[in-house]
Amino acid sequence: MSQASALKEDLVAAGLAEGFDVAVDSVLRSAPAREAIAQSQGDAAWGELVDALAEAIIAETLRHRSSTTRLVPADRRRLVESVIDAFHGGQLGVLGTAAKVSAELAMRMGGAWALDHWRGPLSDSAHPFVGDVLRYLARGDAIRRLIADCVRDADGPVVLLGHSLGGIAALDTLVLRSLPAVTALVTVGSQGPLLHEMGALPSLDAGEDLPGSVPRWLNVHHRRDLLSYVAEPIFPGRVVDVEIAGNEVMPEAHSAYFDRKDFYDLLASLVKEVGRAAP
């Protein structure tokens, strides 16, 4: 059975065959995907890119079917693997309208060699994050609007907390919008500082200072969380880095914050301080 046929069977079994070709076209023709395809070079870069594109395609398919379809992580990963396999030789394109884009990608990859080098334990643990970031960079405005709406509907002062990609979205929202109700920002295991240095943060070009709309900011990181980054050196005087020390390793380290009493003690102290300062 060809990779394309196997993927089609997997999609039908998951109830995701309808709309998959539209998701492929939407993701591969998006500006961030095209730019990434044009700039990526070398085995490792191509492997990470294919992984991210496959995850984004499944996420986009689920977005259109979210009211009727739920996937457990193992089933979602199987579908992502099937999409990756279908990229080989441009076979993904036979399922929908993205044939040309898929074939161009496969030709740039040069065949199976690029797919043979990306499968490491670190990539396996990080692949959902990469796909979600790609999707956020392509369609983040709706998420930022939702965050702003939730803040406006809240009573009293707000401490806005975001984990991982949520921290990026929270920071972007506060840079782009004035939300006086937000008296503190807490980012946890977040990549906002890295994206800013790369010039990839949607709201702020590399080297630009934070605007006054960003309030007091605590950036919580874990030394063994490879997806967390310090922010003080990037935004001196505007953010305080707080390290949560632990022996966890990836991927558990990326969510270990929420199993730690000292993390909740930090939040409780911040909330009390914000409450005392409220008029």
Q: Of 255 and 117, which is predicted with more confidence? A: 255
The Cα–Cα gap between 69 and 98 comes to 23
Instruction: Say what the pTM is.
Output: 0.56
pLDDT band at 182 (very low <50, low <70, confident <90, very high): very high
Between 45-59, 167-181, 211-225, the lowest mean confidence (pLDDT) is in 45-59
Cα–Cα distance for residue pair 199/234, rounded to 1 Å: 12
Domains of the chain listed by start with CATH number: 3-139 (no CATH), 141-277 (3.40.50.1820)
pLDDT band at 68 (very low <50, low <70, confident <90, very high): low
At a CB cut-off of 8 Å and minimum separation 6, what does 111 contact? 88, 89
Decide if pLDDT at 112 tops 70: no
Higher pLDDT, 60 or 105: 60
The CA dihedral of 11, 14, 17, 21, to the nearest 10 degrees, is -60
In this predicted model, which residue has the larger pLDDT, 42 or 122? 42
User: What is the radius of gyration, based on Cα positions, of the chain?
Assistant: 20
- pLDDT at 6 > cutoff 50: yes
pLDDT at 66: 54
User: Phi and psi dihedrals of 118, rounded to 5?
Assistant: -90, -15
Which of these ranges, 21-30, 91-100, 202-211, has the smallest mean pLDDT?
91-100
- 278 pLDDT tier (thresholds 50, 70, 90): low
pLDDT for 37 equals 66
| Mean per-residue pLDDT, 95-117 | 40
Q: How confident is the model at residue 92 (pLDDT cuts 50, 70, 90)?
A: very low
